[in-house]
Amino acid sequence: MTTQKEKLKSLIKIAEELVINGADPNIEDYQKNTSYSLMKETIVEKLFDGVLSYDEDFLYLLKSEEFADFTIHGLKCHKLIVELRSNKTMQELDNFFQELDNEEMTKLFLSWCYGGKISEEKPPEFFSKLGIEEPFRKRLRFDLQKLYHQEESKDFTIICHKKRIRVHRVVLYARSGLFRGLFQATTNTTEVQDYSNKAAKTLKVIVKYLYYDSLDESLEDEQILVELQDSNDYYQLNEKSSLKYLLEYHKKFN
C-alpha cells in the first residue's frame, strides 16, 4: 500500500517535471496528472515555487548587468551563462544576431538563456537555427548542475575556516543577496572570507544548492542539518526558495 510519504514524493517529482517543462501550477494538465488534494500541501506548493525562483534570480542578473563581460547586438550579458545555455561561442552568437539585425529577437534569446522560458507560445524560427529545440526552462537546472562541476571556469574563492571553495561568481550573485553584497564590495579581488559560524562542509552544501536546488544526501549529517536552519534568511535567498521547505519536508518524513 502506498504511504502518504511516497505519494508526496511522487507528486513533487511530477510537479517539478511539469514546471521545468514550462507549465504553470494551475493548468489543467497539472491537475489531471496529480492528486489535487495533495497539491494543497503547503510543502509541495512551495517546492513548486522553488523551481520558479531560478527564472527570477537569473533574469535579475541579466537586468542588473553586474559583472557582464560581453555584448551581443548592443545588449550586455554574461559569457559564462550564454555559452553554457546555447552551446555556441559568443562570437558565433554575436555574428548571428548582427546579421539578424533585430534587437527584440536578441532580447528574447537572452531572456531564454537566463530565465529558461519565452513568453510567446510558438518560438521564433531563429531558435531552431541556433539549435534550441526547447524554448522553456527545461534545461536551466541541468545546465547549472553541469556548470557546478566545471572547476576550470570557476572564477572566485570563498574562504571558510581555512577551506577554499571555488565558485562561479555570477551564479552566487544571482541566487543570494548575501553574496550579491559581498561581491559588490569586493570587485577588485577574486576571493572573500566567509565570517559565518557555519562549517565549511555546510557552506559547500549551500553553494551546491544555489546551483541546482538540491541537498542530495547532506541532511543525513546532523551538524549540516542544524546549520542549514537559518540559511534561507542568512544568505538572503529568493522568497520562493525551496530550501526551508526541503528542510521542513525532511523533518516531516524522517
Alpha-carbon gap, residue 195 to 203, rounded angstroms: 11
Alpha-carbon gap, residue 118 to 136, rounded angstroms: 6
**What is residue 197's predicted lDDT score, i.e. its pLDDT?**
83
**What is residue 87's predicted lDDT score, i.e. its pLDDT?**
77
**What is residue 248's predicted lDDT score, i.e. its pLDDT?**
76
Sequence-distant (6+) residues with CB within 8 A of 54 are 115, 116, 137, 140, 141, 144, 213
**More confident site: 91 or 167:** 167
CB 161, CB 126: distance < 8 Å: no
Q: What are phi and psi of 122, to 5 degrees?
A: -105, 125
Domain ranges in the chain are 4-57, 63-138, 146-253
Q: Is a pLDDT exceeding 70 seen at residue 200?
A: yes
**What is residue 105's predicted lDDT score, i.e. its pLDDT?**
82
Alpha-carbon gap, residue 57 to 208, rounded angstroms: 16
Domain 146-253 sits in CATH 3.30.460.20 = no
The predicted-structure confidence for 207-231, as pLDDT tens digits, reads as follows 999 998 877 666 778 889 899 989 9
Per-residue pLDDT, averaged over 148-154, amounts to 94
**What is residue 103's predicted lDDT score, i.e. its pLDDT?**
83
The predicted-structure confidence for 1-60, as pLDDT tens digits, reads as follows 566 566 656 666 666 665 555 555 554 544 555 444 444 555 566 666 666 777 889 999
The predicted-structure confidence for 63-92, as pLDDT tens digits, reads as follows 999 999 999 888 999 999 988 888 788 888
Burial label for 13, CB within 10 Å (0-12, 13-18, 19+), is exposed
**What is residue 123's predicted lDDT score, i.e. its pLDDT?**
62
**More confident site: 78 or 116:** 78
Q: What is the mean pLDDT of the chain?
A: 78
Per-residue pLDDT, averaged over 190-213, amounts to 88
Per-residue pLDDT, averaged over 177-203, amounts to 86
Per-residue pLDDT, averaged over 165-185, amounts to 92
**What is residue 8's predicted lDDT score, i.e. its pLDDT?**
58
The predicted-structure confidence for 127-143, as pLDDT tens digits, reads as follows 777 766 654 445 677 78
- Cα 80 to its chain centre, rounded Å, is 14
Angle of CA points 210, 254, 196, to nearest 5°: 40
Band of the pLDDT at 176, cuts 50, 70, 90? Answer: very high
Per-residue pLDDT, averaged over 237-249, amounts to 81
